[in-house]
Amino acid sequence: MKRMAVLLALISWLGLAAAALAQAGYPPRVDLYVNDLAGVITDEDRGRIQSTLQTLQAEHGVEMTVLTIETILEYGTGDGTIESFATGLFNQWGIGDAERNDGVLLLVAIEDRELRIELGAGYGPADEDGLGAVIDRLMVPQFREGNYSLGIVEGVEAMAARLRGEPEPLWAAVSPTTPSSSQPVSSGRNILWWAGGGTVALLGASNALLTRWRRYRRRTCPACQLTEMTRLGELEDDAFLQEGQRLEESLKSVDYDVWQCPNCQHYEVVPFVAWFSHYKKCTQCQYRALETKSRVLRQPTYSSTGLEERVSSCHHCSYHHRTEHVIPMKTQSSSSSSGSFSSRSSSSSSRSSSGGGRSSGGGRSGKW
């Protein structure tokens, strides 16, 4: 009986814990423009995104926000899809103007391998059509290569261009789906796109082949100059790496190849830097193990700036550096503007107020 009572108590406790987790809710908004909770956006790209979105809001009155997370499951909201999560989050944050409902949310869930562009209720089906090209042509290809920061920057800048009413670029001229018979691919615009796309693909393939050749080419031992060196396996080469180098490999910031001569045992360690890793080189130990995290110390208002803290810590040595950065003030709407991608006010006096915007579930999603 005692065991049964203990078991029932344990089940009850687990139920309460699960309920508490389910009420955890959506992540808080810590920045008006960039909320990189997954830590995949570089400092340089973060500044580039913030500049783009600040200008978009100041000159065209549109509030757009970027959020990266590991997975929607860690928040216990009960959402089973990225679409429902994005809609719930959008409405809780109140993105965009409350009257125009013209806000835009870019949500990237790294572990789920999904992204969502959620639109305010002021947009219509026609405004959603162009988002598929932004996702499929720009973002998904970069994400598949692990280039999250670059994919997000390109996606943000492409969406900002559409919101500003700029002409459609050639890469967006062809629908991601197979063209219908009423839209032959032999049109001049499509021919230009295919030619441009073919050139890019050819250059990409050539670069990949060159990189592969440089990494796996035959190497004659520089010591004895008689024997070809052998590239060691991942487990074997750890014995030749320093502790910091093994850490870099575990962080996936640098991958090391070790080549050894079977005749004289001479060996060489060859590094290959992961260009889009969010880990940077530490100024103290020189290993690529420096990670920067940020949090908002003071939220911006309509009358004062906010304050953000950025802390850089090295996973290898004791390096620790803290800085503070000013967050721009929120801007208030002084005139009304359209909520359409295809029709944008160019008046610099049109500004959007943050808070109160709603979404009815419109937008586009993508997977990689």
- Say which CATH number the domain at 143 has: 3.10.310.50
Cβ atoms within 10 Å, residue 202 = 10
Does residue 312 lie in a domain region? no
Query: Which residue has better confidence, 177 or 269?
Result: 269
Q: Tell me: pLDDT of 18 over 90.
A: no
Binned at pLDDT 50, 70 and 90, residue 192 comes out as very low
Label the pairing between strands 267-273 and 104-109: unpaired
What are the beta bridge partners of residue 254? 273
Structural domain count, the chain: 1
- Residue 9's pLDDT is 54
Query: Which residue has better confidence, 326 or 158?
Result: 158
Does residue 302 lie in a domain region? no
Q: Tell me: pLDDT of 131 over 90.
A: no
Average pLDDT over residues 290-312: 83
- Residue 10's pLDDT is 52
Label the pairing between strands 306-314 and 288-298: antiparallel
Does residue 216 lie in a domain region? no
List the domain range (segments joined by +) for residue 102: 23-174+352-367
Q: How many helices, marked H, and strands, marked E, lie in the chain? A: 10, 12
- pLDDT cut 70: percent of the chain above it: 73
Cβ atoms within 10 Å, residue 251 = 18
Q: Rounded to an integer, what distance in angstroms lies between the CA atom of residue 139 and that of residue 155?
A: 6
Query: Which region among 57-61, 71-75, 170-174, 258-262 has the lowest average model confidence (pLDDT)?
Result: 170-174
Closest CA to 341 of 193, 139, 120, 135: 120
Q: Tell me: pLDDT of 352 over 90.
A: no
Average pLDDT over residues 195-202: 51
Does residue 82 lie in a domain region? yes
- Residue 336's pLDDT is 39
- Residue 83's pLDDT is 95
Binned at pLDDT 50, 70 and 90, residue 100 comes out as confident
What are 164's two structure tokens?
Answer: 């500003």
What are 247's two structure tokens?
Answer: 């850490």
Q: Rounded to an integer, what distance in angstroms lies between the CA atom of residue 34 and that of residue 325?
A: 14
- Residue 12's pLDDT is 52
Binned at pLDDT 50, 70 and 90, residue 211 comes out as low
Query: Which residue has better confidence, 183 or 114?
Result: 114
Query: Which residue has better confidence, 262 or 345?
Result: 262
Q: Tell me: pLDDT of 335 over 50.
A: no
Query: Which residue has better confidence, 3 or 166?
Result: 166
> Strand, coil or helix: what is 118?
strand
Average pLDDT over residues 193-211: 54
Does residue 98 lie in a domain region? yes
HSE (side-chain half, CA atoms, 13 Å) at 166 = 13
Q: For residue 37, what are the CA distances in angstroms to 249, 297, 302?
A: 23, 16, 25
Strand order in the sheet with 363-367: 34-36, 64-69, 104-109, 114-119, 363-367
Average pLDDT over residues 312-324: 92
Q: Rounded to an integer, what distance in angstroms lies between the CA atom of residue 277 and that of residue 290?
A: 11
HEC string for 134-178: HHHHHHHHHHHCCCHHHHHHHHHHHHHHHHCCCCCCHHHCCCCCC
Does residue 125 lie in a domain region? yes
Tokens 């979105």 sit on residue: 53
Binned at pLDDT 50, 70 and 90, residue 24 comes out as low
CB of 254 closer than 8 Å to CB of 286 = no
- Residue 331's pLDDT is 56
Closest CA to 324 of 299, 292, 297, 304: 297
Binned at pLDDT 50, 70 and 90, residue 241 comes out as very high
Does residue 212 lie in a domain region? no
Does residue 258 lie in a domain region? no
